Structure 1
């Protein structure tokens, strides 16, 4: 039966003596969880691996170009196609300028780096900036999550609501926060520089504004997420709540629909105008990447060129990142309208169903496409679990007389701990596994500054770092400390199109004559560095054969630095080693930095 706030006669119901009082556990836990939430997000930001090469090449590399005038360009940023908006990167450009001022001021930050990362940061200001930017992204997501759960706990509850109902909503907020905080999926999505991650954060803020009935705030966030992030498909997440906003305004006697639509039009015009001005500056022509990417993804053969996966791909990823929380969350999403018929809370779960209907049938699937629904999974699971526990507790303590409320509350907290304790352990193990088994490329590239003692010494010849089959694990040019080191893609067995170095013209019209790109995922010669020019090679110990060229006669690759790595190709998706960070060094291979060495001459016997 639904958690109703009214009796059959229409009068306000009173709390029975054995109702659960969530007030004190909520106050105690929320006061402790808020700082912990921020600390965990910041701490994990640079300890979790970069899971998607799209993050490195489509966002960190263009940002590096905007800051340092060099980096790698993908075909989406070419003047011919213009699928990506530079507006998305502008906030980070401004933030980077401020952080660079601090880094160049000589301020001693040696105490800070061990708190943020396990990578060696000293001596590489670019890497230090990268670490600070990712930590900031993690902190921003924590802010969004805390704003979301606070809105759930304190959103406008009518005065007729009972104490039991208010307590119920507060505990739902607390469990939602707890599940988001401990989720492996939220752990690596929170600090990712990806439109889907940013969309998730903006949706969290917008959902909070919706619950608080801050409609102007909601409109600004929804329009920004649709037009300025560069991923217009996310509008589907805001449409259900947007329709609810329209219904509220229409039913309000003092509201004017004409005023509301005028407000939407003005906000849309301002944001779209700013985005187009920014993109005009970088592309040299009036262009709408939002429109271009919509057209590209609707035409036949678009994103399917980059891989096709069955529906089971999403199911496996959700289970890896959320374990049984995902199952309970989906059930809770379907049941929420019945459990909370007179509450706006269940409306927050509708976008998840809308999103699944949109992304699930598409042949091309990526884990990042699911990021926007991660909070809703946690909310759905929280609603169902708290509802069931509250009903079980009332039944369990129905015969109790003395201290019934306190007994019910303690029993409920213990029961919730029993329900979610195993999920927390599994998620924590998954987080440990990601950090332990997949962070080797970050640690390896972070060691690059050690190769050049003095980058200003003209006697030191430039050094070239290359990779073949491991191109998609290159974290970004922020790991290349100075111009004495360069990075390049050596010819490999990979048959798709690779990024190419930005020209001084960036995405301007003149760059099209210097860099040839295509939208067919066909290799372009300008992407490759001749194998003989490579001084170092980054590869897995099991993928050295991915290089299609050979060294000059008399040379060979000698392992210079190795970091343990788990080869996912040799494990299943739901595999103990892949899911759990077991103690010990149980790795299937290593990420290896090899140096080109001249073989010693063999003495000849005459």
Structure 2
């Protein structure tokens, strides 16, 4: 079996499993993308999704064209959150990875293809990106597809996918990822062909996206330009927290592990192969060209004070190309060096299996830690809240306090329920319900008052705890308890699931699930669901 065929058989079920188990890791995914999908796919007069300030026509920072295909698929699969995630997010991601493996196999040989497949299958970073409905994860998939076409010599296909990644998800900054591709096309095909490909692809993608956004916002506007102005010129992203450069170093280590080490030593492994096992079919310049997007993108990220783990997703395909080529080169060089004592093929296999084994141990341990510590408790609790709301009749108010940012999305709720917020320690700007109209496009174009561009929470809309029919929150041993925990005469707990208390758990134990070590040291709180006592008597 060839690596490309094995990639399809291995990565498709693996990514579907990731999507089945994963929680929603970031509130941006919920409120900027899943809620927009819900609005277009399942408008409802009561179960109204929530709008962020970025979608307010006054600011227009997000592209409605990006969520449109997901909304179309949502309607086909009866607006099932899980089905959309499986069919429209995780499956295309796996196909893009398989395309990358096929390109690696064609350009650098079967051994490099198998190595890349092993690294991708054990990647904690790709396991996190595969089920995520955020631009950075979509760009990761499109960048992998573009690299796969490029490695196979299909520069036209690679350029189109690069332009699609730049213009469709609404993150124009990622154009820097495709500078090496643009240079390659320019050198091999000439300026005229490069311009023709770029302009034709750009118009093909940009015109329908711009037309749909203009209709959705009911005015001519460019979310691409607006987001550049806000982030690059205005520096608005700093309002949401800043971090030192070590933040990305730590997260690359957690998400890429052995692959990061292989990329860092890549200049050495390529030099050793050049000196000891020269192979004209795999020149170092080609490896460096395909790995360069990783360096360019991380360099851009380090210049920005606001840092988030998901921002690294677009760099992963080129990182893993570099890592696979580095391991292939290092194993070949050391095999040639010890040829007098051991058959080169034996040495290559031993070193490859050892590196991939270490990558698998670290990757699986990290993926399992996230699933056991966070994802299971979060998603189980919200599904329990949705199931409880479905039993309560019409007009159910599901409330969140401090855990508003882990709400998976309105698609998860039954049609008789909607989310509201109870005041908590958070004092930033919260989303607000979209103004309802039977036509989703009319709803999108309406200006919901009270939003601002400086993350000020002065216009937040809260409900009193007494107005809640279902309440979801996180109970920890330290800190203020949820509003509805202590009043057992008014509120009854109907669900509790474990959720890691990271502040009381050692760093190593919470970073990796190590058998015999991590769970013995991990401290857990509880993700709890409460309902009023009179509801409990009625439905149980």
Using the size of structure 1 for normalisation, the TM-score is: 0.79
Q: 281-290 or 261-270, which moves further after superposition?
A: 261-270
Aligned to 1:41: 15
Change (3 A) 1:192 1:336: farther
- Root-mean-square deviation (CA, aligned residues, Å) is 2.8
| Residue 219 (structure 1) shift | 2.2
Deviations, residues 490-512 of structure 1 (Å, cap 9, x unaligned)? 11110100111111256769965
Secondary structure of 1:51's aligned partner:
coil
Aligned to 2:316: 374
Aligned to 1:386: 328
| Residue 366 (structure 1) shift | 0.3
Please point out which of 71, 74, 95 is paired with 1:143. Answer: 95
Please point out which of 219, 223, 226 is paired with 1:292. Answer: 226
Aligned to 1:356: 298
Please point out which of 522, 532, 550 is paired with 2:456. Answer: 522
Aligned to 2:524: 588
Change (3 A) 1:270 1:489: same
Change (3 A) 1:488 1:416: same
Secondary structure of 2:303's aligned partner:
coil
Secondary structure of 1:419's aligned partner:
helix
Secondary structure of 2:21's aligned partner:
coil
- Does residue 96 (structure 1) correspond to residue 74 (structure 2)? The answer is yes
Alignment partners' CA distance in 1, 2:391 and 2:286 = 61
Secondary structure of 2:307's aligned partner:
coil
| Residue 56 (structure 1) shift | 0.9
Alignment partners' CA distance in 2, 1:296 and 1:281 = 22
- Does residue 177 (structure 1) correspond to residue 117 (structure 2)? The answer is yes
Aligned to 1:540: 474
Alignment partners' CA distance in 1, 2:142 and 2:407 = 28
Secondary structure of 1:523's aligned partner:
coil
Change (3 A) 1:571 1:312: farther
Alignment partners' CA distance in 2, 1:568 and 1:450 = 28
Q: 441-450 or 258-267, which moves further after superposition?
A: 258-267
Using the size of structure 2 for normalisation, the TM-score is: 0.88
Deviations, residues 365-405 of structure 1 (Å, cap 9, x unaligned)? 000110111222222222222212112222323367xxxxx
Alignment partners' CA distance in 2, 1:593 and 1:370 = 34
| Residue 211 (structure 1) shift | 2.1
Alignment partners' CA distance in 2, 1:314 and 1:274 = 35
Alignment partners' CA distance in 2, 1:392 and 1:520 = 56
On the 8 A contact 1:564/1:590 being kept in 2, the answer is: yes
Deviations, residues 405-432 of structure 1 (Å, cap 9, x unaligned)? xx43244212211223122112111111
Deviations, residues 129-157 of structure 1 (Å, cap 9, x unaligned)? 211221122121111111112112114xx
| Residue 54 (structure 1) shift | 0.9
Aligned to 1:446: 383
On the 8 A contact 2:31/2:52 being kept in 1, the answer is: yes
Secondary structure of 1:368's aligned partner:
helix
Deviations, residues 201-239 of structure 1 (Å, cap 9, x unaligned)? 111111122222322212211211111110111111011
Please point out which of 171, 183, 187 is paired with 1:231. Answer: 171
Please point out which of 302, 318, 321 is paired with 2:236. Answer: 302
Alignment partners' CA distance in 2, 1:547 and 1:312 = 33
Alignment partners' CA distance in 2, 1:453 and 1:269 = 46
Alignment partners' CA distance in 1, 2:131 and 2:472 = 25
Pair member with larger Rg: 1
Secondary structure of 1:177's aligned partner:
helix
Change (3 A) 1:281 1:524: farther
Alignment partners' CA distance in 2, 1:346 and 1:369 = 22
5+ residue gaps, structure 1, are: 1-26, 101-125, 156-165, 251-256, 401-406, 600-606
Aligned to 1:84: 62
| Residue 453 (structure 1) shift | 6.0
- Does residue 323 (structure 1) correspond to residue 261 (structure 2)? The answer is no
Alignment partners' CA distance in 2, 1:373 and 1:258 = 29
Change (3 A) 1:98 1:479: closer
Aligned length: 516
| Residue 546 (structure 1) shift | 5.5
Change (3 A) 1:355 1:587: same
Alignment partners' CA distance in 1, 2:340 and 2:135 = 50
Deviations, residues 156-193 of structure 1 (Å, cap 9, x unaligned)? xxxxxxxxxx6xx3212211121011111111111211
Secondary structure of 1:575's aligned partner:
helix
Change (3 A) 1:203 1:514: closer
Alignment partners' CA distance in 1, 2:230 and 2:239 = 12
Change (3 A) 1:65 1:479: same
Change (3 A) 1:547 1:571: closer
Alignment partners' CA distance in 2, 1:421 and 1:170 = 18
Alignment partners' CA distance in 1, 2:271 and 2:229 = 36
Aligned to 2:369: 433
| Residue 352 (structure 1) shift | 0.9
- Does residue 222 (structure 1) correspond to residue 162 (structure 2)? The answer is yes
Deviations, residues 109-130 of structure 1 (Å, cap 9, x unaligned)? xxxxxxxxxxxxxxxxx4xx21
On the 8 A contact 2:2/2:110 being kept in 1, the answer is: no
Alignment partners' CA distance in 1, 2:482 and 2:21 = 33
Q: 417-426 or 328-337, which moves further after superposition?
A: 328-337
On the 8 A contact 1:498/1:524 being kept in 2, the answer is: no
- Does residue 273 (structure 1) correspond to residue 210 (structure 2)? The answer is no
Alignment partners' CA distance in 2, 1:388 and 1:263 = 37
| Residue 276 (structure 1) shift | 1.0
On the 8 A contact 1:491/1:548 being kept in 2, the answer is: no
On the 8 A contact 1:554/1:598 being kept in 2, the answer is: no
Alignment partners' CA distance in 2, 1:248 and 1:592 = 60
Greater fraction of residues in helix: 2
Alignment partners' CA distance in 1, 2:137 and 2:26 = 12
